[in-house]
Amino acid sequence: MTSSPMPAPTASQPAVDADHAPKDPGLQPGSLVSGLPKGAPGETMIAIDGISKWYGDFKVLTDCTTKVAKGEVVVVCGPSGSGKSTLIKCVNALEPFQKGQITVAGTKVLDKSTNLPKLRSRVGMVFQHFELFPHLTITDNLTIAQRKVLGRGSEDAKKRGLDLLARVGLGAHAHKYPGQLSGGQQQRVAIARALAMNPVVMLFDEPTSALDPEMVGEVLDVMVELAKEGMTMMVVTHEMGFARKVADRVIFMDRGEIVEDATKDEFFGSPRSERAQTFLSKILQH
């Protein structure tokens, strides 16, 4: 497995005039994250407490328990069908679960009195297939939820959206439609769109799995930067290079169970379970 090289930030390069600026310079210097809640770094942001989920008779999640602390980056890995995407979608109640409880920044997910749209607006999510809204321009994709969900004014929303777009290196594409961008570019827009809502945590559901190999790096760059800026992240991915570089902890899942929940060094150094060992030996041998 090859880890993608990180291009140096372009800050040191001389400024070029706008007309001749490269169309896609990649990640730009500046801040991706703003308005993170105050609080001690060790504070729990996501508490997953004994959740189980069935599709009819089929049990997809069995008694999963874990915690993600503020500023922590947790990578969730495991073979396909192991329930990792389902687990992450339970965190913002995109998937309902029948047993247990998840608490996000102090709010219980499985509670009648919880305003789910409000909770979800504080949890950024990035999908495998980007899911930008194809009928809206990039600018509108970045602003629509800010305006309609958070009630921000158009000018504020646009400023926030375009700032983030420039940060992910796509400032020149604001007027385009998603179908006119490459997969990697669309995924960077999707990350910017989620960040525009000032989320307290970010969930990534296999963000690079649908990308051509040469575009994986540009998306991971943004995620690495996000991790460095202290964003709390839960990432379902097969990119073990990314896990090694930025993860604090790795959760390994198999057949709907959390089999291993360890620090990065423990997991890659000496995985305890046989299933994790087999998985690692399979995906790391290339």
Partner 1 sequence: MNYNWNWSIFFDQSPEGTGTYADMLLSGLYWTIVTALCAWAIAFTLGSVIGVLRTLPSKTANAIGTTYVEIFRNVPLLVQMFLWYFVLPEMLPRGLGDAVKQMPDAPFYTAVVCLGFFTASRVAEQVRAGIQALPRGQRMAATAMGFTTAQTYRYVLLPNAYRIILPPMTSEFLNNLKNTSVALTIGLLELTGRARSMQEFSFQVFEAFTAATLLYVAINLVVVVCASLLERAVTIPGQR
* 244-278 burial: b if 16+ Cβ within 10 Å, else e: bbbbebbbbbbebbbbbbbebeebbeebeeebbee
Of 14, 28, 20, nearest to 164 by C-alpha is: 28
* 129 sits near partner 1 (criterion: CB under 8 A): yes
Choose one: 21-29, 76-84, 100-108, 141-149; the region binding partner 1 (CB under 8 A): 141-149
CA dist 247 and 241 (Å) reads: 10
259 sits in which H/E element: strand 257-263
Q: Contact letters (x/-) for partner 1, 192-211, by CB under 8 A?
A: -xx--x--------------
CB-wise, 195 or 262, nearer to partner 1?
Answer: 195
Q: What is the 3-state secondary structure (H, E, C) of 82-109?
A: CCHHHHHHHHCCCCCCCEEEEEECCEEC
Site for partner 1 in 102-121 (CB under 8 A): 117-118, 120-121
By CB under 8 A, residue 135 contacts partner 1: yes
Nearest distance in Å: CB 176, partner 1: 7
The H or E element containing residue 44 is strand 44-55
Select from 13-21, 22-30, 147-155, 257-265 the region that touches partner 1 (CB under 8 A). 147-155
- Residue 154 binding partner 1, by CB under 8 A: no
Give the residues lining the site for partner 1 (CB under 8 A).
89, 92, 94, 117-118, 120-123, 125, 127-129, 131-135, 144-145, 148-150, 176-181, 193-194, 197
